[in-house]
Amino acid sequence: MNKDIFLTNNLSNKKEKFVPINEKEVGMYVCGPTVYDDPHIGNARPLVIFDILFKVLKCKYGKNSVKYVRNITDIDDKIIISAQENNTSISELTKKIIKRFNEDCKFLNCETPSEQPKATEHIDLMIKMISKLISKNFAYENNKHVYFQVNKFNDYGKLSNKNLEDLIAGSRVEVSKNKKNPEDFVLWKPSHDGEPFWDSPWGKGRPGWHLECSAMSKKFLGDEFDIHGGGIDLLFPHHENEIAQSRCANDTKIFANFWIHNAFITMSNEKMAKSQGNILKIKDFKDKINGQVLRFSLMSAHYKQPLDWNDKLLSDSKNTIKKWYTVYLSLKTPSKIPDEILLPLYDDLNTPGYIANLHKLFEKAKNGNENDKKIFVSACNFVGILNESKNDWLDFNKRKSLISEKEITKKIELRNKARKNKDYREADKIRDELLDKGVLIEDKDGKTSWTIK
């Protein structure tokens, strides 16, 4: 489409026209998973969001002109702790989680990025970068540790709008007697006994986490590239530190031109956190719902807005896709999607706006000819929806519902008890809860029966 792409750039906090450095080699780097545990629904949001951005960029610049790099952090404190807790080796653990991560990406119908580099395969590049930072006086060694000296980089804090005083006053900086200044961050640290280590000029140790993205983006995309993405939790300190390391080591005015961050997922309006016990893993959905329902739910809010996750969101998404399958036909080649339909995606990846357009196309397809149906299905396929055949979709839903039969029976017993006690409010609450999970109940002749919607 001959229209411009606009994206909200966190460097300026403004929506800007996207102009790549080189239209033939558009580069996007997205911080990928730390492979210590199975991915959860919060991890799934950037997977889907940046997958859609990848598709939009390819639509604009050509499918061979976009390079999407997403790293895998396979060495980190969390990984070491998780391996110890699970009584397994680090390599066994990371191998297992990488496999599950790839399965989850497939379930969400995400394309494989152009490159998926692993941190442990690029330690030599990280050591080289640290040596360069030391030689240029941006970093220093002390007691087998190497730190980046933040006050040597004038633009530190520009991405996250933080100044050094705030940083020092805040509790987010790690205190260490080895540091010259509290805001300095670690580039290299010694490994403890039993931990993995690599030889370096500063002794046996391992890199600080921030460094890997600077080293791997340089290798695959160069010193300066177009888009850097990730979850909003990475904006500070991770992305701020990446900018400091890369710009000082490479001696450049920029690192990435555009910084794009997706907002959090909340669970029934509460923050999702391990301590809250409300973490939903992607694999836990596999027995209950089709992957495209999950994908569609993740697209339902604009990426800059928090997305509240609840059963109603899932059942609404399921109902929409179920409805859309009524006009499904299999496509040999996709139809051209009209410009005005694609436009919301070009305008800051407005997925809710695109979904609204899909609804319009559906209405047309419902009463229209085969060509209208083809355009509708092509437009769905463009964002990774309706990619499986109608039979596969129907087969899946026959077998799965959001709630098990045992749970349904238990809920109905509780509802009958409430009705017996004339607690109709509770009874209605249970009925609505079941409805949210796609279960319709009916009372007839003193008996309650149920069906899956």
Q: Given the rule CB under 5 A, which residues bind Zn ion?
A: 31, 213
Nearest approach in angstroms of CB 215 to Zn ion is: 10
Half-sphere exposure of 148 (CA within 13 A, CB side): 27
Q: How many residues belong to the chain?
A: 453
Nearest approach in angstroms of CB 46 to Zn ion is: 11
Nearest approach in angstroms of CB 161 to Zn ion is: 19
CA proximity to 155, closest of 246, 222, 224: 246
CA dist 147 → 66, 151, 328 (Å): 34, 12, 57
CB 378 within 8 A of CB 387: no
Q: Which is nearer to Zn ion, 125 or 345 (CB)?
A: 125
Nearest-angstrom CA–CA distance, 407 and 433: 12
Nearest-angstrom CA–CA distance, 425 and 440: 18
CB atoms within 10 A of CB 224: 18
Tokens describing residue 290 = 């089709």
Q: Which is nearer to Zn ion, 73 or 297 (CB)?
A: 73
Pairing, β 6-9 against β 26-30? unpaired
Q: Which is nearer to Zn ion, 134 or 256 (CB)?
A: 256
Nearest approach in angstroms of CB 241 to Zn ion is: 9
CA dist 439 → 127, 288, 435, 453 (Å): 57, 13, 5, 6
Nearest-angstrom CA–CA distance, 268 and 275: 16
Tokens describing residue 326 = 């009524």
Nearest approach in angstroms of CB 244 to Zn ion is: 13
Q: Which is nearer to Zn ion, 31 or 282 (CB)?
A: 31
Tokens describing residue 160 = 């996250």
Nearest approach in angstroms of CB 213 to Zn ion is: 3
Q: Which is nearer to Zn ion, 213 or 299 (CB)?
A: 213
Tokens describing residue 157 = 């804090």
**What's phi and psi for 241, nearest 5 deg?**
-70, -35
Q: Which is nearer to Zn ion, 70 or 373 (CB)?
A: 70
Paired with 8 in beta bridges are 15
CB 21 within 8 A of CB 257: yes
Nearest approach in angstroms of CB 256 to Zn ion is: 11
Q: Which is nearer to Zn ion, 1 or 254 (CB)?
A: 254
Q: Give the Cα-Cα-Cα angle 309, 311, 313 (nearest 5 degrees).
A: 60
Q: Which is nearer to Zn ion, 9 or 73 (CB)?
A: 73
Nearest approach in angstroms of CB 32 to Zn ion is: 8
